[in-house]
Amino acid sequence: MSQKILVIGSNSFSGASFVRYLLAQPSLEVVGVSRSGEPDIAFAPHRWDKDGRQSRFTFHSLDLRRDLGKVVQIAGDIGATHVVNFAAQGMVAESWLKPEDWYQTNTVSTIMLHDRLRKLRGLQKYVHISTPEVYGSTAGLLKETRNYNPSTPYATSRAACDMSLHNFLENYGFPVVWTRAANVYGPGQQLYRVIPRMVMAILTGKKLQLHGGGHSIRSFIHIDDVASATWTIAQNAKPGGIYHISTDRFVSIRDLVKLVCERMGEQFDKHVEEAPERDGKDAAYLLDAAKVRADFGWQDRISLEEGVDQTIAWAKEHFEMLKNLPLHYIHKS
């Protein structure tokens, strides 16, 4: 019997890449839900493979804030065994400008979703894609037992939802597991993210603003490695499990940008200018991913150099379309 997977936020970079990963597995039926219509092919990894697997994917353009009942009805109609939720209002700095949008989407609407999903029969696992932002600025390697200490409206909206899920787990036995990934990247990512933005700045002769000099530390993990970990966790983790997904390699944003320049044969100083630090930006996220490795034998496999090269090749392939797009985030209420 095939498993039925509902992916909420399937048009996001992570969601679409996860759908692509699922469709590469035999016997999985996948339904995607996102508030926007399906994007241009450049931003739709789940449509890149032309081998018939698309027949196992169905898409619905629905907004959790307006179409919650329809989303839950779809989950029930298809007999979803797994629901994986990537839907969230992202962007840390911008969450200070209109925080009510972040709380409405990431907290209120998502908690309403959980309250309805918990009543579905046959749901084996709900995978909530959380964020390390809930920990706030930290020092040292972070384990999954770290306390919540959010420092921005975005982070607080996500932490509030995570805490509500703990209530649902304890009171209703809701089969939730959490994932928190390091900074994801790869072909098909939105241009306002640092790696594709740097690539496009070089290709179009523009400069990238490096906030605070780029000294904050992060781990960057290829989206294909994140997708494989997410599905492994969805299948095998027990309800209540929290898992970090990360590489063991940590770099400053400055060194990452230098790496992109090097892979493209360009000079760092030619394409970068320093800018003031953003409000509430956390200095470091160093996630300890030992748990997912020990519990399930998962390993990340794509090096940062290989992943950056893939992203450069993707940008060049779709350059005629991408060159006309803004490199900054545009908020949609």
| Percentage of the chain lying above the pLDDT 70 cut | 97
The pLDDT score that the predictor gives to residue 333 is 63
The pLDDT score that the predictor gives to residue 91 is 84
Give the tens place of pLDDT for each residue, 226-257: 999 999 999 999 999 999 999 999 999 999 99
Counting Cα atoms < 13 Å in the Cβ hemisphere of 310 gives 16
Residue 249 structure tokens = 């390699």
Q: Tell me the β-bridge partners of 242.
A: 178
Counting Cα atoms < 13 Å in the Cβ hemisphere of 110 gives 30
Gyration radius of the chain's alpha carbons:
19
Domains of the chain: 3-184+221-245 (3.40.50.720), 190-218+249-285+303-322 (3.90.25.10)
Q: What pTM, to 2 d.p., does this model score?
A: 0.94
pLDDT along the chain (333 residues), means of 10: 90 97 93 92 92 88 96 98 95 90 96 97 97 87 94 96 98 98 97 96 92 87 98 98 97 96 95 73 78 98 98 98 88 69
Give the tens place of pLDDT for each residue, 273-313: 887 766 545 566 789 999 999 999 999 999 999 999 999 99
Task: State the burial class of residue 30 (Cβ atoms within 10 Å of its Cβ: 0-12, 13-18, 19+).
Answer: buried
